[in-house]
A and B are shown apart, each in its own frame.
Chain A
Amino acid sequence: MLSITLVINAVYVVCAALFIFGLKMMGHPSTARKGNLLSAVGMLAAIIVTLLDNAIVSYQWIFIAVCAGTLVGILAARLVAMTSMPEMVSLLNGVGGIASLLVAWASIHDAVEINQLMLLVGFLAILIGGVTFSGSVVAWAKLSERIAGRPLVFAGQKFVNLLIVTAIVVCGYLFVTQPQLDTVTYAVVGLALVFGIMLVLPIGGADMPVVISLLNSYSGLAACAAGFALQNNLLIVAGSLVGASGVILTQIMCKAMNRSLSNVLFSGFQSVVSSDMVIEGEVKPLSAEDAFYVLEAAQSVVVVPGYGMAVAQAQHALKELQDLLEENGCEVAYAIHPVAGRMPGHMNVLLAEADVSYEQLFEMDEINPRMETFDVAMVIGANDVVNPAAREMQGSPIYGMPVINADLAKNVFVFKRSMASGFAGIDNPLFFKDNSNMIFGDAKDSLNAIIRQFDDD
């Protein structure tokens, strides 16, 4: 007999395949949009077929919640500015986490007969979901500068954290052994939320790419744990796909900073490494006019964007300059460091918004071998990712980090607001090199000044 449960699960198999195909098509920019659509079709099929479930007897609340959620989702996705994408992704991670928490909570509350394994995975889903939610909210607040982006640490924080972890373990034990106690559930939910806050507070703004990737993976793992609690295959498959994606991104980000994950998560607690090496030299400021003369004569230019480009919203001016340079017969390439910006791929999205072809964007390893051939390297709002100290100064806090070797280009223009050092708080010997010049001021204004020179010419 063709039971409804069988039909539902058969459709779930197809949905899982659609998710995997969708992600596979994300492997290339030309197929990615179709891949996303495929994955969305899988999701829609899963939702529709789930609504046929006999266990659903009342559609009233489902209808209201789905409508409200759809409205918020559409508005958020339509209204968010491309420059606020890190905040948006971070919040989406957060809502995914809280949804998994609530599902696990409700399923345990609901269960007629419950075994300890289900309680254990339910506990994990609540814990991971709660950490994802509150951690993402803190990350969002840091990214949107509602709270300070620097690592926030206070005296006794380690002790407090130890206390929280102990409390979580104790409550976890009680949760599994005495599921009838509602107070324990409240305590677990509360502790998970506090733990998420404590985890992200001590992490600085420049390490946000790692945090967002990690929270992304947590949101998947939370769904996965909820899947175990509900014994739902599709939740497990989809959740682990997302978990894997987040783990891979986290690894890439950590590798690009030459740091371990634990170093990123806990380095806020260490005293700042002060290097006794003094970098001395003189910086050479350059006017927009002089920059124009060099750019006009250049055959090839490489642009190295960083978070400063996002802050100044300079991507459109940059594209305008690129067009002028190309009209002039100059080759323009973009060199993107994996941790440039505040999330993985941040620069690529901004440049795509400004209509820069993705074929002109190169990864660090592709561009470094031919850096010497470029006439000009324009460093726009990037600092640590082009710091030659990572290559040549043993003992520098960033020694060993893979960087874009902008200093090897024939000329280097550094677009910079002022002489403040980057997030890592270290001086950048690039600024003092013989072949580098500083163009001080807001990146967008400086670029526009150069563009005006082209127009006047």
Chain B
Amino acid sequence: MTGIYLLFILMLAIFVGFEVIRKVPATLHTPLMSGANAISGITLIGALALAGSESGSWSTWLGAAAVFFATINVIGGYLVTDRMLAMFKKK
């Protein structure tokens, strides 16, 4: 049943995503991409639990590496998006 419940969330989120993002103008497509990319760094929260567990050392290592990469994704993504958006000015 959990699988079905998760699929429900997936389906609704996809619809919301399509509706919201379709309205983004072409001029903002690059920041949209890097900003969305930062959001995909959400894997970080999955990685944190794995890197912090004391179970097998192998999965702790994998988790720590995942934390490293996901942090780059989150920090780099949001900062570079902000840097770009700061340049979009009206006259």
Contact = CB atoms under 8 A, between A and B. Distances in A.
Interface of A: 16, 19-20, 22-24, 26-30, 32-33, 35-37, 39-40, 43, 46-47, 50-51, 53, 55-59, 61-62, 64-66, 68-70, 72-74, 76-78, 80, 82, 85, 88-89, 92-93, 95-96, 98-100, 102-103, 105-107, 109-110, 117, 212-213, 216, 219-220, 222-224, 226-228, 230-249, 252, 336, 338, 343-346, 348-349, 352-353, 355, 357-361, 363
15 contacts: A23-B36, A30-B90, A56-B53, A58-B52, A62-B67, A65-B51, A65-B65, A99-B41, A99-B66, A103-B66, A231-B6, A234-B45, A240-B14, A240-B17, A249-B33
Interface in B41-76: 41-56, 58-60, 62-76
Interface size class of B (residues with CB under 8 A): 35 or more
A74 B71 contact: no
A95 B46 contact: no
A56 B90 CA distance: 47
A56 B49 contact: yes
Given A70-B75, A244-B14, A361-B27, A61 B52 contact: yes
Query: Which 9 pairs, one residue from A and one from B, show the smallest C-beta to C-beta distance?
Result: A69-B71, A244-B17, A73-B75, A56-B52, A345-B29, A77-B79, A344-B29, A102-B66, A345-B30
A360 B90 CA distance: 9
Contacts of B16: 20, 241
A213 B71 CA distance: 21
Contacts of B43: 96, 99-100, 103, 222-223, 226, 235
A349 B76 contact: no
Contact of A69 (B45, B75, B78, B85): B75
Given A32-B85, A96-B73, A117 B3 contact: yes
Contact of A235 (B18, B42, B59): B42
Given A224-B10, A344-B26, A348-B29, 20 more contacts: A19-B39, A20-B16, A23-B21, A23-B35, A27-B20, A47-B44, A61-B64, A68-B71, A69-B70, A69-B71, A85-B84, A92-B38, A107-B46, A107-B50, A220-B39, A240-B14, A241-B36, A348-B28, A353-B87, A355-B89
Main secondary structure of the interface of B (DSSP, over half): helix
Contacts of B32: 23, 26, 245, 249, 344-345
Contacts of A51: 48
A107 to B, nearest CB: 6
Contacts of A39: 35, 38-39, 78
A95 B52 contact: no
Nearest to B23: A27
B33 A345 contact: yes
